[in-house]
A and B are shown apart, each in its own frame.
Chain A
């Protein structure tokens, strides 16, 4: 599903290299956790996957379903099936959430050559997904993310993910700012999306989220490279002993 090969990327503005040769394979159906200390390049990796132009890929490749995505803009990547749940979802005044969902869903359908959804069908899907996430429909009448609490924003991200049905979900620090109840709801939402033809990449600093979204593989990112990969036990080991041991081993 996702093959990252020797990926190097730097900040476009000042040339600072952040990713220094990331290698990672994620198979369909797999839930991969990417962990690492602050500043290891986790968020950069998520942005580079989504195609944010603040970063330049200088070497290596990202293959999605066997095709390189490097030449695709963020909208094309999204239409191809890549979804990034943001660590800090943008507040966009003046764009009603419902209108945004309609435009996004239909833009992706159009890009894939599918028919646009009619309003009643669209409303039905949104209502069902919102209920599953315990979200109030009134929230969706408000401008996108404006005045949403941290937890509401994260839920809104998962709502979008459910509605857009991507084949690769990248969750960037989805647990940050969530209390335990909200965390459970969000995790249930993600778990409901687990399927044999979908891959999920969970980027997190803490083990906590992985108690609720149990990964198939765990990868430790440090100084822009994957320094250790293992099974879910690796996350527990990191929780117990901290990153120092793993990083020391790799160094």
Chain B
């Protein structure tokens, strides 16, 4: 038996455990769910991960999560207008799902109900031993949406899963299943006004031959702590483009756990991370290529201003049977300030012998020759720098091809630079 010396708990750890004692009885779910919650709390009793835990090396959660707010049942917010015009918005307001009308053939349920009738308990739990985000969320999750897009359905209207916080603690889940050959655009928005602690865990199953564009747009306010996670399975010949934009929050960890499990499946990750002030932002990807002839490309672009710190960890695991895997990962950072920093950790674990895998990382300043060229045309230095920084990010956004999406994201960029540029 392992005897461990109990380390003194931090204030945040104490608050988390106390919150659970207070709330356990009122959290939704059947006995199976309650048991899973209790198991998750057992893990939390061991403390939050510090930099000694490899997958948390760049984000010392124990130190950075200095406090945890109490739940705030009185907090109130009104759902926001959709990011993409014409979307169906499914809002979760401070942890409570507000059911709205969706196209008739799309099945939608609240996670509260799913937990109560036992159909969701199996989703609770940890993906692996370091899965602190999963543990916190499993312990406390109150609500969210479960969505089924039937086979063959081509959704013209985007669906927006809006996780809106007004302060306190907010723990949300989203689960989307796209049937065989379905096509859809799904926006996962993370935003609000409070200095909340948010955990938000999503599940996505992309059925055979289905094509999904999933956008995670995280724009928490300066004081919020955001722990995000998406768990993805991509079936045979299916395609997923996952776009992740981080443009806010004090402490952000966004985990992407992706399994390309069907032959011929394709995964694209495009991520734009805008870091300013004293933000700490960590994007961590664990990508499994589990079947032959699968393709993935990952492009991550970061802009770091002020005293912000960021990290990207990209782990690609190619299973022995996943021959002919083609995976390319690139993480490029523009460091606009001497006081900021960005760490990149690519990791390739390849067990197949016939694959093409590559990765590259750069941390640079703006190219002086580009700056000179623009200025030589009369564009002042500040404007020219702004153009070049935006261009660096716009390149990634433009790859999304959907004009409405590109336009909205470029507006987001412009708005961010208007306040932080």
Interface residues of A (CB under 8 A from B): 50-54, 73-75, 77-79, 83-84, 86, 89-90, 92-95, 100, 103-104, 107-108, 111, 143, 160, 164
Contacts and interface: CB of A to CB of B under 8 A. Distances in A.
Contacts of A84: 376
B391 A107 contact: no
B71 interface: no
Interface stretch (B108-116, B290-298, B366-374): B366-374
B219 to A, nearest CB: 22
B392 interface: yes
A95 B376 contact: no
Interface-centre pick from A75, A100, A104, A108 (highest chain B CB count, 10 A): A75
A107 B380 contact: yes
B390 interface: yes
Interface in B329-386: 368-370, 372-381, 383-384
A52 B394 CA distance: 27
A104 B377 contact: yes
Interface in B145-173: none
B387 interface: yes
B395 A79 contact: no
Interface-centre pick from A54, A74, A84 (highest chain B CB count, 10 A): A74
A103 B379 CA distance: 7
A15 B395 CA distance: 37
Given A92-B388, A92-B391, A94-B391, A75 B373 contact: no
13 contacts: A53-B368, A73-B381, A74-B376, A78-B378, A90-B370, A92-B391, A100-B377, A103-B387, A104-B377, A107-B380, A108-B377, A111-B378, A164-B377
A104 B381 contact: no
Contacts of B391: 92-95, 143
B383 A107 contact: yes
Contact of B378 (A54, A75, A143): A75
A104 B373 contact: no
B376 A51 contact: yes
B180 to A, nearest CB: 37
B379 A94 contact: no
A78 B376 contact: yes
A89 B373 contact: yes
Given A90-B370, A94-B392, A160 B387 contact: no
Contacts of A89: 373
Given A79-B378, A104-B377, 5 more contacts: A50-B376, A75-B376, A94-B392, A100-B387, A103-B379
Nearest to B389: A94
A15 to B, nearest CB: 18
A75 B379 contact: yes
B373 A86 contact: yes
A104 B370 contact: no
A54 B372 CA distance: 10
Interface-centre pick from B377, B378, B388, B398 (highest chain A CB count, 10 A): B378
Nearest to A103: B379
A152 B391 CA distance: 21
A141 to B, nearest CB: 11
